Amino acid sequence: MAKYRIAWLPGDGIGVEVLEAAEVVFEKLRLDAEYPVGDIGWKFWRKEGDPLPPRTIELLKHVDAALFGAVTSKPVKAANAELVPELQGKTLVYRSPIVRMRQLFDLYTCLRPCKAYPENALNFKEGIDLVVFRENTEDLYAGVEFGPVPRELADLFGKSAKSFAPFASLAPDDYAISCKINTRAGSERIVRAAFEFARKFHRKKVTVVHKANVVRASDGLFLDAAKSVAAQFPDIAMDDANIDAITMWLLKNPFNYDVLVAPNLYGDIISDLCAQMVGGLGFGCSANIGETLAVFEPTHGSAPKYAGQYKVNPIATILAVKMMLEWLGETDKAQSVQGAVAEVIREGKVRTYDMGGRNSTIEMAIAIAAKL
Ligand code: IPM
Ligand code: MG
């Protein structure tokens, strides 16, 4: 039996292509692992009405880690229109499989390092080295949504806070509600993960991102939880910033920041911003980490317009592989993948289209594998 079982979840669009690139790297690494393939994505939604079929969930219960490519997500109406005729008219609801995996397996830490590799022409500034900790299971992603709004809820609004009164008189179809749910335990554990990381890797500061001046209840709780955790880490500085302001400040002076921690949606937003500062989505990698399982993925989506062209940059996925190796405890292999990526970027000889070159996804992977 192999030492590791790694679920292989290509998904669709360019997800398939970047996982082929990852395969090139794994072949060279000769990790003692097996890679069972899991069905996931748009194809399974259309055929089965479920983009994350139960057999894939079962598979994920019996692996050490998973590598996920990307999956196309569409709004409700468009998604339902594409179901096979037998499933048409059923009340099926498309839910993003990656969001479901995060919740089903309680992968509460979304870790997104954004490091500027030296001499990448796409760097916003040389030397940027930010790490985003995104809470990955709650907040506006909780999935508690109403549209149309049920009568009982409308009545409740009518009776509660004055500010809701105008909504209470609307027809159920004329508004919708998405609940932002943040728990104290959920907030504390992600902030703790950020501080523990900061301590382990000698980072100087953790910045808590929120909008507690307006979203008083849920963000207020997040900030409060963050402060109580920070008090347990006197060796690491803590500050906080509003989500809107920090997007400006990050651009103005990225060197004022180090580790950032945020509730789910703000983390989603700032991690794209930070990825852009280090070369764009071709360089943004992501780990979804729980107590027993971790799913690694490029931060980018399935990019349907590039599907089948083998032109997108696989570095994001290859850096996700590096994170996986670290998480498995294969530190030397992780270091060597990172070194190989850094060298290929610095040399600038092999470049995908986003880097101003003409090399394919697979050529980039081969160039990186050649340095391992
Ligand atoms: C991400 C993505 C996902 C998210 C989408 C694909 C559901 O944007 O991982 O950042 O919103 O979490
Ligand atoms: Mg995102």
Write down the domain spans for the chain: 1-111+285-372
* 336's tokens: 């060597």
Nearest-CA residue for ligand 1 atom 10 is 268
Rounded to two decimals, the pTM is 0.95
How high is the mean pLDDT of the chain? 95
**Which pLDDT does position 162 carry in this prediction?**
56
Query: If you measure from the C-alpha of residue 99 to the centroid of ligand 2, how many angstroms do you get, rounded to a whole number?
Result: 11
50/227 Cα distance (integer angstroms)? 40
3 confidence band (pLDDT: 50, 70, 90): very high
**Which pLDDT does position 159 carry in this prediction?**
65
Are 187 and 222 contacting, i.e. CB atoms less than 8 angstroms apart? yes
Q: Is 301 in the pocket of ligand 1 (CB under 6 A)?
A: yes
- Residue 130 pairs with which residues in a beta bridge? 114
Tens of pLDDT, residues 167-195 = 767 888 998 999 999 999 999 999 999 99
Q: Is the pLDDT of residue 161 over 70?
A: no
**Which pLDDT does position 10 carry in this prediction?**
98
Q: Can you tell me the mean pLDDT for 121-142?
A: 98
Tokens 């790297």 identify what position? Answer: 25
Q: Can you tell me the mean pLDDT for 40-66?
A: 96
Q: Is 302 in the pocket of ligand 1 (CB under 6 A)?
A: no
Q: Can you tell me the mean pLDDT for 199-226?
A: 97
Q: Comparing C-alpha atoms, which of 43, 44, 35 is closest to residue 64?
A: 35
Tens of pLDDT, residues 89-123 = 888 888 899 999 999 999 999 999 999 999 999 99
Ligand 1 atom closest to the Cα of residue 272 is 10
Q: Is the pLDDT of residue 33 over 70?
A: yes
Class of the CATH-defined domain 1-111+285-372:
alpha beta
Mutate to test the pocket of ligand 1, among 40, 42, 98 (most ligand atoms within 8 A of CB): 98
160 confidence band (pLDDT: 50, 70, 90): low
